[in-house]
């Protein structure tokens, strides 16, 4: 065969094998909730491409999963009180534990949670609390109470309320001496009225990241945020602080789950196992500054973070914290209250 003919044959369609595109992994997660370098390392190790889709509130997450997301996404990061609903709606798949050997690295306190015994569907990802991120006046001391947003006499200045029904109504319930899982109509009505009064004085509603940024930007003095955002904000501005109110507050545990019709189920379980590696888990928590449920990760977590009561509260504070519960059909009580709060 002459050279000219050989070269012409090489140019024919199919003469060269097509380069395989990297396998995708579709991750549905909260904003600013994973170290991009961890994602890049996973992509390199498994020769894949991770696509992140972000959500800012639980309602948006649930709506998207119910609207077809369960067959589009591979891994989702739901909060504790949404897991039972996801299971009942058949939106998440049982985990194959043989593919997740690093599950053994979790702290026993975060294994087999009440909403998912034996970790059939979930793996703990990060945990934290809800409180008030605030910029005190120079030399001033603020009382550790939800009254900083609910009592006009204690208000430190302009503030924003967190844009989440269970989070905000729960805070109001705790301030009034009730469980943040109450379904008592009179208690919920009183919490609604308390929030409506605060709404007239506040600078609007925002998510945790947005509230933190507004305090840092000095457009408000206080915001209801989650502990990780507060810890990152305090690193950026030492004049700010985080208060877990004395009336008690919310402790939460976010989870990694695989969608029911995940298009890349094997890779999804490899991702979950990867995040459970002690050094990787530590990198994630060092980035988010939320608490890690990974016991084996502790030696690799920033010592300053481990000693920070904003991230790892002391026992007396922990004793006053409550998990949100899946209220089933009674969640509609909160939906109704939330609609009234937003409409007025």
Question: Is the pLDDT confidence value at 10 over 80?
Answer: no
Question: Is the pLDDT confidence value at 29 over 60?
Answer: yes
Question: Is the pLDDT confidence value at 15 over 70?
Answer: no
Residue 308 belongs to a domain with what CATH number?
3.40.190.10
Same domain, 302 and 336: no
What pLDDT is attached to residue 139?
A: 79
Same domain, 101 and 149: no
Residue 203 lies in a domain: yes
Note whether 144 and 222 are within 8 A (CB).
no
User: What sign for the dihedral angle of Cα 282, 119, 92, 254?
Assistant: negative
Same domain, 232 and 306: no
Phi-psi region of 68 (alpha: psi -120 to 50; beta: other; left: phi over 0): left
Residue 98 lies in a domain: yes
Question: Is the pLDDT confidence value at 297 over 90?
Answer: yes
Same domain, 58 and 117: yes
161: pLDDT confidence band, cut at 50, 70 and 90? very high
What pLDDT is attached to residue 203?
A: 98
Question: Is the pLDDT confidence value at 21 over 90?
Answer: no
Q: What is the rounded radius of gyration, in angstroms, for the C-alpha atoms of the chain?
A: 23
Same domain, 85 and 146: no
Count: domains in the chain: 2
Beta strands in 135-218 (DSSP E): 159-162, 205-206
Question: Is the pLDDT confidence value at 155 over 90?
Answer: yes
Note whether 28 and 75 are within 8 A (CB).
yes
Q: Buried b vs exposed e over 14-30: b needs ≥16 C-beta within 10 Å?
A: eeeeeeeeeeebbbbbb
Residue 236 lies in a domain: yes
Same domain, 245 and 271: no
Same domain, 223 and 135: yes
What digits encode the pLDDT tens for the residues 260-274? 999 999 999 999 999
SS3 assignment, position 232? helix
The answer to pTM > 0.85 is yes
What digits encode the pLDDT tens for the residues 84-113? 999 999 999 999 999 999 999 999 999 999
What pLDDT is attached to residue 11?
A: 57
298, 275, 277, 308: which is closest to 34 by C-alpha? 275
Residue 157 lies in a domain: yes
Same domain, 145 and 186: yes
Residue 229 structural domain:
128-250+321-343
Which whole-number Å values give the CA distances from 1 to 6, 7, 12, 15, 73, in the listed order? 7, 10, 16, 16, 51
340: pLDDT confidence band, cut at 50, 70 and 90? very high
Same domain, 213 and 336: yes
What digits encode the pLDDT tens for the residues 164-194? 999 999 999 999 999 999 999 999 999 999 9
Same domain, 141 and 236: yes
DSSP 12-75: STTSSPPPPPPEEEEEEEETT-S-HHHHHHHHHHHTEEEEEEEESSHHHHHHHHHTTGGGT-SE
Same domain, 71 and 201: no
């Amino acid at each position: 065969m002459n050279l000219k003919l050989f070269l012409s044959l090489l140019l024919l369609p199919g003469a060269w094998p097509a380069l395989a595109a990297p396998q995708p992994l579709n991750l549905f997660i909260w904003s600013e909730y994973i170290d991009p370098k961890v994602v890049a390392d996973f992509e390199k190790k498994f020769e894949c491409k991770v696509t992140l889709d972000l959500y800012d509130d639980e309602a948006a997450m649930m709506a998207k999963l119910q609207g077809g997301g369960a067959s589009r996404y591979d891994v989702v990061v739901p909060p504790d009180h949404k897991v039972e609903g996801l299971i009942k709606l058949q939106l998440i798949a049982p985990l194959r534990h043989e593919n997740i050997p690093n599950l053994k690295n979790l702290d026993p306190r975060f294994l087999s949670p009440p909403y998912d015994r034996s970790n059939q569907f979930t793996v703990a990802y990060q945990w934290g609390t809800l409180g008030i991120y605030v910029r005190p006046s120079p030399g001033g001391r603020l009382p550790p109470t939800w009254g900083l947003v609910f009592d006009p006499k204690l208000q430190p200045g302009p503030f924003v309320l967190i844009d989440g029904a269970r989070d905000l109504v729960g805070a109001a319930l705790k301030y009034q001496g009730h469980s943040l899982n109450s379904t008592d109509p009179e208690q919920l009505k009183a919490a609604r009225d308390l929030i409506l009064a605060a709404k007239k004085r506040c600078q609007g509603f925002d998510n945790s990241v947005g509230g933190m940024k507004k305090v840092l930007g000095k457009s408000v003095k206080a915001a209801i945020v989650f502990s990780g955002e507060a810890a990152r904000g305090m690193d950026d501005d030492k004049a700010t602080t985080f208060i877990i109110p004395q009336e008690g507050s919310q402790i939460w545990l976010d989870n990694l789950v695989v969608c029911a019709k995940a298009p890349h189920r094997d890779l999804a379980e490899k991702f979950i196992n990867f995040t459970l590696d002690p050094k990787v888990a530590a990198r994630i928590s060092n980035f988010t500054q939320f608490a890690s449920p990974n016991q084996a990760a502790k030696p690799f977590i920033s010592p300053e973070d481990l000693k920070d009561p904003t991230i790892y509260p002391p026992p007396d504070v922990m004793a006053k914290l409550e998990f949100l519960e899946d209220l089933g059909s009674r969640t509609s009580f909160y939906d109704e209250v939330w609609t009234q709060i937003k409409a007025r």
